[in-house]
Structure 1
Amino acid sequence: MLTTLELLKQRCEKENLSLWELSVKDEIENTKVSEEDIFNRLQRTLDVMKESSHQALKVPVVSVTGMTGGNAKKMNDYFLSGDTVLGDTAALAMAMALSTSEVNAAMGRIVAAPTAGSAGILPATLMTMYHKYGFDDRKLMEAMLVATQFGQVIFDNATFAGAEGGCQAETGAASAMAAAAVCYLRGYDIHIQENAAVCALLNILGLVCDPIGGMVEFPCNIRNANGVMNALASADMAMAGVKVFVTFDEAVDTLKRVGDSLPAGLRETGEGGVAVCPSALRLRKKYIDGNV
């Protein structure tokens, strides 16, 4: 049976469980592992997220092609300057998202959460909450489980693949998952978590997937930085009580319909969007095709 958020909300109420507790219960029933085993695995995942989100902050990490790299350090240096427009929280969050994106492009170890192309968003969000509020690993892992529940709904009813649904399916899904996690960490219930996830999806509906040369580098890296901002802003709107008029299930259905409507050239083929701009074609020729 396909998972919907409505079904998850009903189960949480009926079984008197939070969303992360429901996730643990289902995992134990389905795989016969212990709760200790589940959190040990989550700890390993969180440790990778920590490493990837900080690895490129002090020393530039360059992609395998050589086309991109060093932006995380630049963003971190800007954060350290203390002269950012949006403030320290935003600047550090973007730097950490760029870091994981660059580690991925350099073939380093990352957590695809939910994809490699969007891998910077959830780690940067969780680490932002750690740096700003001091949440411990256990709480961060519970937030990861909340994120996975929202992700499961997207996986079951739409897609995570840029090749199927455009970048809205990658950075959009990651932003929604991360926004819900933020609200959980701040003590808000599943209804506010839902509103945050809806905001994140609606903010990014229709975003195409158009990487230069088909490589997960540009504009993927800056979309990871913007994705974490989307998650944090969406969480703040939901926690402030901003009205949201559609459900998460409806937003996911919309994500699927919009993705299906995108032409093939705007779904990770590298044949449309930014990927065919003159500057992008020159970069592809230099760094990917091997012709100067």
Structure 2
Amino acid sequence: MLKYDSIAELIEAAKKQKMKISEIVLADQAAAAEADPETLYARMERSFDVMCEAVESGSAKDQVSMSGLTGGEGYHMFDYAKRTGGGLSGSFMTGAMARALSVAGCNASMGRIVASPTAGSCGILPGCLVSLYKEGRAEKSDIVMSMFTSGAFGMVIAKNASIAGATGGCQAECGSASGMAAAALVELMGGSPDMCADALAIAIANQLGLACDPVAGLVEIPCIKRNVSGVMIAFSSADMVLAGIRAYIPADECIGAMQSVGDMMNSALKETAAAGLAATPTGRKLKEKVFGAEE
């Protein structure tokens, strides 16, 4: 049985059995749950279907968050991509951005999403994987399997560092989600287990120290837009690794560094809305708009 103590453990097991990380994780989880692999696969497939549904729900023109502060970001990005032929980043990437915005918007409007690994970072994995599916770049069955790899990597991060903004800052949420997505992308493109780990490492390294500073304490500003940044980092990390660029700092050490940085981070930067963008004059005014002036 796997212990999920380290990324190195997962890589070693995959190499030893000459299997993909997703394959050994599915088999391990099935054994641990005393369930058929087909049953667990079906559950994961349903999670992917929910991601697709969240994209549709969150891309509606009239989508508005519960606070009224945000809404329609997914619609506007899809519309922009259509009007401009893909804008500056190209049609595929603007589509991925739009899907990330849509899922995050769905969350803000109290719609159904998959916390992957958290609600605040819910648009990153769907932005990557749903885009590959919708654009015909990967088969659904392969995408669903890649989610077992991203999930296993997330389990290691949660065990050795944190996936919660309240304890590790946004690096723990969007940083973890980007790394998990990057690993899944690399596996989908035929990369080795070692390459999946390098993609995770690069994605985490590029978001070390990212504060969690939600305006008015709501997972909207700047969280929704950070999901887009997370998608871009996931794709760029995966592409670098697939191009033959190494991470140099091992994934497990990057996870350890993220934990260390989180421990050093001031509590005001950990989801308290007491610093960062939340403490700006405009941030405070937006809080008053939602909750009223403090007495």
User: Does the TM-score normalized on the shorter chain lie above 0.5?
Assistant: yes
Q: After TM superposition, list the pairs within 5 Å mapping 1:90-101 onto structure 2.
A: 90-101=93-104
Q: Kindly report the root-mean-square deviation, in angstroms, between the aligned alpha carbons of the 2 structures.
A: 1.3
Do 2:86 and 2:94's aligned partners in 1 also have CA atoms closer than 8 Å? Answer: no
Q: After TM superposition, list the pairs within 5 Å mapping 1:1-292 onto structure 2.
A: 1=3, 3-81=5-83, 82=85, 84-289=87-292
The AA in structure 2 aligned to 1:141 is V
> C-alpha separation between the residues in 1 aligned to 2:116 and 2:4?
20
Deviation, 1:213, is 1.2
Do 2:58 and 2:104's aligned partners in 1 also have CA atoms closer than 8 Å? Answer: no
The 4+ residue runs of structure 1 with deviation greater than 4 A are none
Name the stretch that deviates more: 30-39 or 1-10.
1-10
Deviation, 1:15, is 2.6
SS of corresponding position for 1:48: helix
Deviation, 1:56, is 2.5
Deviation readout 1:174-213 (Å, 9 max, x if unpaired): 0000001111111111111111111100111100000011
Deviation, 1:157, is 0.4
Deviation readout 1:118-155 (Å, 9 max, x if unpaired): 00000110012113344222111111111111111101
Deviation, 1:8, is 1.2
The AA in structure 2 aligned to 1:79 is A
Consecutive unaligned residues of structure 2, counting only runs of 5 or more, are none
Do 1:94 and 1:225's aligned partners in 2 also have CA atoms closer than 8 Å? Answer: yes
Deviation, 1:83, is 5.2
Name the stretch that deviates more: 139-148 or 282-291.
282-291
- Identity %, equivalent residues: 38
The alignment's TM-score, normalised by the length of structure 1, stands at 0.96
Do 2:86 and 2:92's aligned partners in 1 also have CA atoms closer than 8 Å? Answer: no
Do 1:60 and 1:72's aligned partners in 2 also have CA atoms closer than 8 Å? Answer: no
Consecutive unaligned residues of structure 1, counting only runs of 5 or more, are none
Deviation, 1:41, is 0.6
Deviation, 1:11, is 1.3
The alignment's TM-score, normalised by the length of structure 2, stands at 0.95
SS of corresponding position for 2:135: helix
> C-alpha separation between the residues in 2 aligned to 1:244 and 1:59?
40
